[in-house]
Chain A
Amino acid sequence: MVKVELWAGLRAFTGGERTVEVDAKNIRELLQALSDAYPGLKPILDEGVSVAIDGEIFADSLIEPVGPENEIVLMQKIRGG
């Protein structure tokens, strides 16, 4: 299981929880597990999100491995100019 910290505005879809645990070995599985466990998150995840793992922000990657030892933060997709 990995712990995922969600941005605060998503609490409404997780029963008020800021940090949730899901079973996942990489970002693809993590996002799928979040959608399965909290269907209200699906449209937001489908819009595109970034995932920060131990301080590094993965804007698009689905393959990056995640584990229980990682700090995982779900972020709004970063936009540059």
Chain B
Amino acid sequence: MAFDTQTEKQFKYIGTRPKRQDGVDKVTGHALYGADTYKAGMLHGAIVRSPHAHARIIKIDTSKAEALDGVKAVVTRADFATGLTGENWNILENIMADKTALYDGHAIAAIAATSNLIARDAVKLVEVEYEILPHVTDIKEAISEGAPIIRESSIEANVPPDHHKNITRRFECGKGDVDVGFAEADLIVERDFTTEAAHQGYIEPHACLAHMTADGKGELWCTTQGHYNVQRICAALLGMETSQLRVTASEIGGGFGAKTTVFIDPVALALSRKANRPVKMVMTRSEVLRATGPASSSWSTVKVGMKKDGTITAAQATYRLQGGAFPSAPSESPAQVTFAPYDIEHAEMVGLSVMTNRPKQAAFRAPGAPMGVFASEQVLDEMAQELGIDPIELRLKNAAKEGTRGVHGPTFKRIGLIETLEAAKAHPHYSIPLKENQGRGVACGFWFNFGGSTSVSMALSEDGSVALSIGTPDIGGSRASMALMAAEVLGIPYEDIRVTVADTASLGYNDNTHGSRVTYAVGLATIEACRSAVKEMCKRAALKWGIDEEAVSWEDGYAKPSGPNAGDFEPLPLKAIASEMTKTGGPINGHFEASPNTAGPGFATHLVDVEVDPETGKTTVLRYTVVMDAGKAIHPDYVEGQMQGGAVQGIGWALNEEYVYGKDGRLQNTVFLDYRVPVASDLPMIDCVIIEVPNPGHPFGVRGVGETSIVPPLGAVANAVSNATGVRQTDLPMSPPRVLKGILEKQKANG
């Protein structure tokens, strides 16, 4: 769907900042989140979880639990479908263990009871006999000699036989000949970097209410980024027809990628099927941290060759990402993404997925990219310093632009990286003088963005107002953005349009709210759905005037005669056409279904200033500026929200957040007091600069903005801390003890 002429006109609604449509409900507490749904006769579900990191399940005795007064159903793996393959099998294995507990917190059985308290008491009565197996939770140890092999059967066909048996996937891309490139270099730097797993940290835990009836039909209300995906997976895991399960998405209290899969929803359905009553399940925070997917931890090796003038001659990297006890770490992502912002003739990138006894990793905004960029952008920073080149100038010198063939393969169309770098360079932030113990970091980031399958419908009411139905849960203000785009096409006020997230029985298939796709793809479908209604309204006006419908144009909410022979008629407003639509041919609706593939790539440049206390190693973020290409900002508040949110999550990942496993393989920090995400008092205001280089593949020029914003922060903050301390920060998190250790080692080395 190409960029079109409407964009050349002055927008009336696009780019304004009206109040969000769900705002009143949310600030008054009326919005219904995952845990806010109730049903008569509802039971409460709870899950029995493994206390071991790796153990064979010898026997599960549920008799004492079943005998407890109030317990109505118990399920184990035997209550789910058999014969599944591929990712469906992996999801089932993750949400309910079969023969082996693969990580601390792995689900073994589940209980439904008349109260939450009884259900949790019953969990304690389930007796599980385990044979404890050797475990490994650290990525380096997992691919060392002697490490326990977790699931050799998961190794993909293209992994060479000489690789460690905990490496399940190998991806390699690049171009040219790195040996030639390194031979041309005046300076070569090679370093290793590690990052820890980081949880997506959504405030709302996973929650759902399931009701299976005796006729095999099912209803599910849940918090999710994609209820059609929940429907598809749950139907497969329960062995039922997809259309017999209706799924309704609640409001969502954050997802960031991790709510693109399921954890408790199939379990609640299985319990409901067995108990023949509705079952509600709500995870505790401890369960969320132990048994839902964080982003992978990583170990990267990056080598870059550069000429004295800053030209990158070669880049070579190996990115190892652990995906828990499942073959799903997104190791191909850093291989493709980290050097994509640069025009490099010779590059060789390898991604390796590593298995450990940890929970199945889940997507987290631009999955796999931030940890790779943490490594690559630090090497570039170090080389810029070594060569005495300004870090932004170095990036500008090598920046990819239209026509550059990326290291990941494809040739870029129009992109906005250079514009973000130029804006960062010109921003007042970049010239503020730094004091002692302060440092500045710069990093760039790229993300593909995604289209995905989309259905949208709109219905005109007789009073001229519009109901727009979309099938993607609203995470970041998308209802407001859709209403703005509909208002722009229809020429009616934003307030006259109500946007609803429809359930799976009410609208055609939609992919998840993920991949930075909603404003782009659902927006595109909204525009086209409204345009189809406009076409019909022009037809109705033509009928009334007795002229050809081609002689009618639509302008700012009015049908108007146009062309030399159209005649002279008073323009007809939308309301007038709507008021008599049932008498002029029937209801006027619009719809559009497509799988658009023209999502424009996203680029960003981040600037950050920090101060490091040399006595404690504590880092304080002083200033942070995000410069990002949004293509066209439909509702700038929500573009800025994505930019700020990505930066904040990246700051937390860089400075504080980590999964701490004991020698027993059990997670030690299972509450937010011990797993510390940044709060408002930890942060300065995140300054935002929206760049608009239109995406040639969207009618209004939109590019996705949900993920690119988390790609640069790990590298940017690490560069800032490195520059403040004079110690290169190769490992995350940059917690006070780790940073202080580096400072003390440097002082000792300097005498």
Q: Is the CB of A64 within 8 A of B173?
A: no
CB contacts (< 8 Å) of A60 on chain B: these are: 453, 595
CB contacts (< 8 Å) of B512 on chain A: these are: 80
Q: Is the CB of A79 within 8 A of B333?
A: yes
Q: Is the CB of A75 within 8 A of B336?
A: yes
Residue among B173, B348, B363 making CB contact with A79, cutoff 8 Å = B363
| CA distance in complex: A26, B598 (Å) | 17
Known contacts: A12-B158, A13-B158, A40-B157. The answer to whether A80 contacts B514 by CB under 8 A is yes
Known contacts: A75-B409, A79-B367. The answer to whether A9 contacts B453 by CB under 8 A is no
Known contacts: A76-B171, A79-B333, A81-B707. The answer to whether A43 contacts B409 by CB under 8 A is no
Known contacts: A7-B173, A9-B172, A40-B157. The answer to whether A56 contacts B413 by CB under 8 A is yes
The count of A-to-B residue pairs whose CB atoms sit within 8 angstroms is 99
Distance in Å: Cβ of B417 to nearest Cβ of chain A: 14
List residues of A (34-81) whose CB comes within 8 Å of B's CBs: 40, 43-44, 47, 52, 54-61, 64, 71, 73-76, 78-81
| CA distance in complex: A55, B597 (Å) | 11
What are 8 inter-chain pairs, A to B, with CB distance below 8 A? A55-B410, A59-B451, A59-B452, A59-B597, A60-B453, A61-B597, A73-B409, A81-B258
Closest 6 CB pairs of A and B: A80-B515, A81-B257, A81-B363, A9-B172, A73-B409, A52-B410
| CA distance in complex: A43, B156 (Å) | 9
Q: Is the CB of A78 within 8 A of B172?
A: no
Q: Is the CB of A81 within 8 A of B336?
A: no
| CA distance in complex: A40, B159 (Å) | 12
Residue among B410, B413, B515 making CB contact with A81, cutoff 8 Å = B515
Q: Is the CB of B514 within 8 A of A81?
A: yes
CB contacts (< 8 Å) of B450 on chain A: these are: 59, 78, 80
Interface check B395, CB cutoff 8 A: no
Q: Is the CB of A8 within 8 A of B707?
A: no
Q: Is the CB of A81 within 8 A of B365?
A: yes
| CA distance in complex: A79, B353 (Å) | 14
Q: Which residue in chain A gives the minimum CB-CB distance to B225?
A: A81
List residues of B (414-472) whose CB comes within 8 Å of A's CBs: 448, 450-453
Interface check B221, CB cutoff 8 A: no
CB contacts (< 8 Å) of A7 on chain B: these are: 171-173, 409
| CA distance in complex: A74, B171 (Å) | 12
CB contacts (< 8 Å) of B171 on chain A: these are: 7, 9, 76
Q: Which residue in chain A gives the minimum CB-CB distance to B697?
A: A56
Distance in Å: Cβ of B413 to nearest Cβ of chain A: 5
| CA distance in complex: A31, B87 (Å) | 21
| CA distance in complex: A7, B332 (Å) | 10
Q: Is the CB of A9 within 8 A of B170?
A: yes
Residue among A8, A10, A12, A47 making CB contact with B174, cutoff 8 Å = A8
Majority secondary structure, B binding face: loop
List residues of B (515-543) whose CB comes within 8 Å of A's CBs: 515-517
Interface check B713, CB cutoff 8 A: no
Q: Which residue in chain A gives the minimum CB-CB distance to B350?
A: A9
| CA distance in complex: A42, B323 (Å) | 24
Interface string of B136-176 (1 = CB under 8 A from A): 00000000000000000000111010000000001111100
Q: Is the CB of A54 within 8 A of B364?
A: no
Interface check B46, CB cutoff 8 A: no
Interface check A5, CB cutoff 8 A: yes
Q: Which residue in chain A gives the minimum CB-CB distance to B259?
A: A81
CB contacts (< 8 Å) of A12 on chain B: these are: 158, 160
Interface check B222, CB cutoff 8 A: no
Known contacts: A55-B411, A75-B409. The answer to whether A80 contacts B157 by CB under 8 A is no
Interface check B297, CB cutoff 8 A: no
CB contacts (< 8 Å) of A78 on chain B: these are: 448, 450, 515
| CA distance in complex: A56, B170 (Å) | 24
Interface check B366, CB cutoff 8 A: yes
Q: Is the CB of A57 within 8 A of B448?
A: yes
Interface check B408, CB cutoff 8 A: yes
Residue among B86, B156, B410, B697 making CB contact with A73, cutoff 8 Å = B410
Distance in Å: Cβ of A18 to nearest Cβ of chain B: 9
| CA distance in complex: A73, B173 (Å) | 11
Q: Is the CB of A8 within 8 A of B597?
A: no
Q: Is the CB of B364 within 8 A of A81?
A: yes
CB contacts (< 8 Å) of B80 on chain A: these are: none
Q: Is the CB of A44 within 8 A of B158?
A: yes
CB contacts (< 8 Å) of B256 on chain A: these are: 81
Q: Which residue in chain A gives the minimum CB-CB distance to B512?
A: A80
